[in-house]
Structures are given as C-alpha cells and as structure tokens.
C-alpha cells in the first residue's frame, strides 16, 4: 500500500512518545481512546522518542525493553500500522542528522529561556547535560523532517512548538522556503480524570501513591481494589457537585466509558451506596481496558511480529524524511553523495 498517494490530502499529525512509563486511565480517556478515530481524518505519525530519552540515565537493557513496550502499547491502543506510521526514532538516522542542523540554526539565548530545561535542571542537578539543553532543537528536527501540519501539545510543550516555528521561519528566511510551519493540535477535550486519592489533582503516572493512579495495564483485581479505596465523602449520594470532587471524578470516568450523561449516571445510581457505585465504575473500567491489556501482551510476546512492524515503520519513516533532509542539505550547502 502506498500511503503517500492514498493519503496525500490528509493533514499530518506527528507525536513523539517517550519510552518511559505506561499510559494512565487519565491519558487513555483524555486522548488515547480517540486515536483510532484520528487515523480516519488525519495521517498520524507516531514515534518512540528513544533519542530524547538519552538525556536521562537508564540501564541499556531497561531502555531497550521500554522502547519495545512503548511500541507495543501504541499498537495495542488502536494505532493501525496500515493507516498510521509508527516507528522508533533512532531507527531513522536522519533524526540525529537533522537535529545537528537544527542545533546550528538555534540561538543559545532562546534555548536558555526554555522553562522545561530550567525545571529539569533543578530536578536533576547532577545531570545537566548538553542534550537536555538542545532537546528543543532535536524536537524541531523531528517535526520538520516530516513536514507535519499539526503537533499535539500539552502545556509543557507549547514553548517547544513556538521554538520549532521560530527555527523553521529563520531557516526559510535564510535559505529559502523549505519548511511548513506546524500548528498545535488541540483535540476535542476528553475526560479530565483526577487522582483517586486526591481528586483535586490530575491523575499522574508520577504519583507516589500507587492507589491514586490506574495504569491501562493494571490487572482486573488491582483495578477493583483501587476503585474500592477511592476517596469519596460521607454523604453517600451519587451526584456531581463542586464539594464532592471524589464522587464527581468517579462519575466522569463512568460517563466517559459508558457514553452516558452525568444526569443519566445520577439516575442510574439513585439510592445506591458508594460501595455499589465504586464497584460498577471499577467493573466498567476493567471491561474497557481488558482488550488493550490482552492485545499488548499478545504483541509483546510475538517478537517476530513486533520486529517486523518496527522494521516496516523505520523504512517508511526513513523514505519520507529523506526527501526533506536532502532538500535541507542542498539548501545549507552540504555536498551530497554522488
């Protein structure tokens, strides 16, 4: 199948995912659940950002394992490699090459203003490496290599996208029109899932309390236990209200999975105690995540299939990126191999 011909009218969305940690229920209901729908409307490019992960020290075997796991997780969550491009960043050598060219188009001053660099340096003062500093230039290279139209950005990445647009504009001005200026992609808001132990904070995989977060790979009995231990209140009435953040959060989760309105959820559990309500939410979540967990295990166990999909993804990514990189090299005056 020639993806470039059949899908050339679709806009390109590009997203890099670090090979660390597993999606939470919050990630899943907030964004991941809609990914398979996005594939119908857009040409989606997803890569495992293993080169970016090198800014953090990790055992080699662990990084390799997590890269494979992240790739398998994308496929298990509904990314169809026949419709979307899924690849490992380091499997396409053009990322590192483009990253260096973008380094040379980036100003020291603008890199030093990046808040993420300041935050991460403060958190890891023993490892303030140059890669951490030039991270946005590599990210700009990732995006511009594929002439992406849109990049999904969270609050912590908006500055990096602005930086990418600035670098692309500077390059176009200095060397001639080369890059499309990418825009931020803000999907239809999915459910905002809060911590099960502190419903005033967002559910986060970095939460130190294991009871606070549901991982999409949690076993059924673990999911049920966490929901049974979820913080509610003493009123024992299932309705959404600002002064009932715990119950409202559980209702939001149930509503996002079943498609029922908050009013319908209130009616369904009228007269029920919190015990029954929590059990119903836990069951709905367990049923929703079971196929993802089973598919993930199946893919991860089928090493030949996983390797084959990685290889296909790398070949397609390299072919697409080589067009842009060849143009970039010509523009900056690098002598091309004959």
Q: Residue 168 and residue 119: Cα distance in Å, rounded?
A: 25
Q: Residue 124 and residue 58: Cα distance in Å, rounded?
A: 14
> Hey, how many other C-beta atoms are within 10 angstroms of the C-beta on 319?
12
Catalytic residue among 202, 211, 312, 327: 202
Q: What is the pLDDT of residue 116?
A: 80
Q: Residue 152 and residue 323: Cα distance in Å, rounded?
A: 23
User: At CA 161, angle to CA 180 and CA 48, rounded to 5?
Assistant: 95
Q: What is the pLDDT of residue 62?
A: 95
83 is catalytic: no
Beta bridge partners of 16: 47
120 is catalytic: yes
Please give the sequence-ordered ranges of beta strands (E in DSSP) within the chain, or none if there are none. Answer: 12-17, 43-48, 85-88, 150-152, 183-185
Q: What is the pLDDT of residue 120?
A: 82
Q: Kindly state the tokens that stand for 154.
A: 């969270």
Cα distance between the two ends of the chain: 30
Catalytic residue among 33, 83, 120, 226: 120
Concatenating the DSSP letter of every residue in 173-198 gives: HHH-S-----EEE-PPP---PBPSS-
Q: What residue ranges define each of the domains in the chain, with the CATH number in brackets? A: 3-190+303-332 (3.40.50.620), 210-296 (1.10.240.10)
Say if CB 203 and CB 26 are below 8 A apart: yes
Among candidate residues 264, 258, 248, 261, the one with its CA nearest the CA of residue 280: 258
Q: Residue 315 and residue 337: Cα distance in Å, rounded?
A: 20
Would you give per-residue pLDDT tens digits along the chain (338 residues)? 445 444 458 999 999 988 977 889 988 888 888 888 889 899 999 999 999 999 988 999 999 999 999 999 999 999 999 999 999 999 999 999 999 999 999 999 999 998 888 878 878 888 888 988 999 999 999 999 999 999 988 766 788 999 999 999 999 999 999 999 999 998 766 678 999 999 999 998 888 899 999 999 999 999 999 999 999 998 889 999 999 999 999 999 999 999 999 999 999 999 899 999 999 999 999 999 999 999 999 999 999 999 999 999 999 999 999 999 999 999 999 999 87
Q: What is the pLDDT of residue 213?
A: 95
Q: What is the pLDDT of residue 155?
A: 64
Q: Residue 314 and residue 335: Cα distance in Å, rounded?
A: 25
205 is catalytic: yes
Catalytic residue among 93, 118, 205, 225: 205
Q: What is the pLDDT of residue 32?
A: 83
> Hey, how many other C-beta atoms are within 10 angstroms of the C-beta on 108?
9
Q: What is the pLDDT of residue 5?
A: 45
Q: What is the pLDDT of residue 124?
A: 80
């Amino acid at each position: 199948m020639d993806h470039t011909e059949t899908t050339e009218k679709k806009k390109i969305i590009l997203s890099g995912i670090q090979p660390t940690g597993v999606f939470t229920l919050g990630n899943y209901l907030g964004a991941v659940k809609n990914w398979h729908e996005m594939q119908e409307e857009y040409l989606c490019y997803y890569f495992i950002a293993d080169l970016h992960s090198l800014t953090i020290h990790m055992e080699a075997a662990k990084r390799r394992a997590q890269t494979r796991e992240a790739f398998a997780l994308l496929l298990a969550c509904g990314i169809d490699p026949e419709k979307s491009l899924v690849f490992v960043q380091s499997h396409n050598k053009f990322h590192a090459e483009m990253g260096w060219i973008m380094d040379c188009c980036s100003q020291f001053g603008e890199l030093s203003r990046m808040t993420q660099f300041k935050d991460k340096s403060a958190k890891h003062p023993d490892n303030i490496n140059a890669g951490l500093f030039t991270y946005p230039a590599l990210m700009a290279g990732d995006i511009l290599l594929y002439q992406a139209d849109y990049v999904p950005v969270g609050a912590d990445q908006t500055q990096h996208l602005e930086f990418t647009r600035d670098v692309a504009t500077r390059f176009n001005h200095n060397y001639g029109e080369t890059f499309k200026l990418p825009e931020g992609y803000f999907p239809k808001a999915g459910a905002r899932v809060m911590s099960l132990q502190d419903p005033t904070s967002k559910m986060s995989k970095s939460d130190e309390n294991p009871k606070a977060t549901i991982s999409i790979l949690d076993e059924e009995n673990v999911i049920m236990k966490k929901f049974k231990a979820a913080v509610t209140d003493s009123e024992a009435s299932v309705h959404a209200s600002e002064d009932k953040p715990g119950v409202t959060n559980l209702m939001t989760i149930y509503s996002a999975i079943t498609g029922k309105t908050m009013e319908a959820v209130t009616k369904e559990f009228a007269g029920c105690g919190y015990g029954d309500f929590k059990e119903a939410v836990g069951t709905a979540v367990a049923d929703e995540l079971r196929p993802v967990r089973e598919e993930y295990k199946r893919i991860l166990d089928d090493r030949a299939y996983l390797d084959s999909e990685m290889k296909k993804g790398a070949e397609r990514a390299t072919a697409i990126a080589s067009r842009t990189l060849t143009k970039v090299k010509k523009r900056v005056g690098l002598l091309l191999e004959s």
